Amino acid sequence: MKIYGISNCNSVKKARTWLEENGIVYEFHDFKKLGINENTIKEWLTQKPWDKLINRAGMTWRNLSDAEKAIITDDESATQLMMAKTSVIKRPVLVQNNILLALGFDEATYQQLFKH
């Protein structure tokens, strides 16, 4: 089990706390410290569309210029953006055995995933 995110993100904090409180072992991948590689993003894109992986409500997206936003039109352009600005990725990303289980944190979703 691996959770991707940024350590000071509230959603990531909530997800990590929930996992810990429910005794679920996970590895934390901090985008800010470790970045993200192209192959990981491409694997995610086989499971979720790029417009779900990019957090358009977040400050990173909103701070992009209209021209920068306009060029994000497909998997390739979205991949380049996510690699360059990892904080644009919706977080946390919960992955197990290369299967993307959840984007963002929703307690009900986590309960369903882990049958608590």
Q: What is the pLDDT of residues 19-30, one digit of tens each?
A: 999 999 999 999
pLDDT score of 51 more than 70: yes
**Where in the sequence is the domain holding 45, given as residue range(s)?**
2-114
> Total domain count for the chain?
1
Q: pTM of the predicted model, to two decimals?
A: 0.93
Q: How far apart are CA 13 and CA 11, in angstroms?
A: 5
Q: Write phi, then psi, for 61 (nearest 5 degrees).
A: -65, -45
Cβ(5)–Cβ(12) below 8 Å: yes
- Binned at pLDDT 50, 70 and 90, residue 116 comes out as low
Check which CATH number belongs to the domain holding 32 and give it: 3.40.30.10
Selecting among 4, 5, 6, 9, the annotated active-site residue is: 9
Q: How far apart are CA 79 and CA 95, in angstroms?
A: 18
Residue 36 Cα to chain centre, angstroms: 10
Whether residue 9 lies in the annotated active site? yes
